[in-house]
Structure 1
């Protein structure tokens, strides 16, 4: 279901529909990454103006489309200067994330063995991603942070999830050094207007 019409929305949906018909998760995410990079760089898709509006004190999430046929969901996220996430997962869902405007710093983590209810993570790579770049997360390699490193520029990213992402696990630093406590977080959506 399309939340709001925008120029190029049919091209975006057709590209995602074609990708999700691939035979494996790896093939789906590879196809989506390539399609998303191409669509962002070609500038044939113009996201609704509201996706450039920040939310006070947190990043904004706006659902643009949810496929009744295939189950996937397309969410635009708006990152004000310095806004970001704690280490989090995607509750077992694959995801392809593309930077639409601005820059984002994405750091991936490998979850190490848990110790008495405390989680340990090891950073395995960090990238500065600019417009037209995209990456994918496939469980169990889904732990990451996203942050807008700019002091004055808003960043917008497009996230395609295998299903509706209504919650996730976040990991907050614990009292013990290099340990994190797991918390469930409900994820809301900001209105499209």
Structure 2
């Protein structure tokens, strides 16, 4: 899976990062027709240094979600359906299923630390091969596009993690971005061959 990443950049100018500013940056990055990887790369670059503070994100979600009990909260669906933004709130140690997506995705960590494991199917389609891992701190923005986007994300650290997930689809229409979940054995690199 090709991923694009940028670290927190210094914010220049008088504008304070906000959710509305982030939506505007995504809107600008998605207006030029291109293949999914080009679009997600533009979104990642566009979000660098424009991430809203975690407290602003948390004000937009119900109280139970702030503790990580109702993890996924849709914050914004662009009126033309070109993208949606979801806040993912995770308790320490909480992990997603192993899954892939219906469209491109950009992930911005605004609080906490996320550990991502990336996978591919083995030749038989009966096991997952661990192809890489990464640890993203608050301020990190990364992205990927199918195919080859099978992953699992775990919240690390002692506090609730908050990340923003931008999907290139209308989640109000399709419901969620997960295409498939995988309940297959995982083969570590040292177990191969």
> What TM-score range do you get, normalising by the shorter chain?
0.7 to 0.9
Q: CA separation in 1, counterparts of 2:49 and 2:97?
A: 29
Residues 20-46 of structure 1: per-residue CA shift (max 9 Å, x gap): 113322221111112223112x75993
Identify unmatched segments of 5+ residues in structure 1. 1-6, 179-193
Partner of 1:68: 79
Partner of 1:36: 47
Identify unmatched segments of 5+ residues in structure 2. 1-16, 188-193
Q: CA separation in 1, counterparts of 2:117 and 2:103?
A: 18
Q: How many residues align?
A: 162
TM-aligned CA distance change 1:44 to 1:169, over 3 Å: closer
Which of 123, 131, 137 is matched with 2:130 structurally?
123
SS at match of 1:47: helix
Partner of 1:55: 68
Give 1:8 shift.
2.4
Give 1:168 shift.
3.3
Alignment check: 8 A CA contact 1:9 1:45 kept: no
Alignment check: 8 A CA contact 2:37 2:104 kept: no
Give the CA RMSD over aligned residues: 2.5
1:79 matches 2:90: yes
Which of 30, 52, 55 is matched with 1:20 structurally?
30
Q: CA separation in 2, counterparts of 1:44 and 1:63?
A: 15
Which of 133, 147, 153 is matched with 2:159 structurally?
153
Give 1:71 shift.
2.6
Partner of 1:187: none
TM-score by length of 1: 0.74
TM-score by length of 2: 0.74
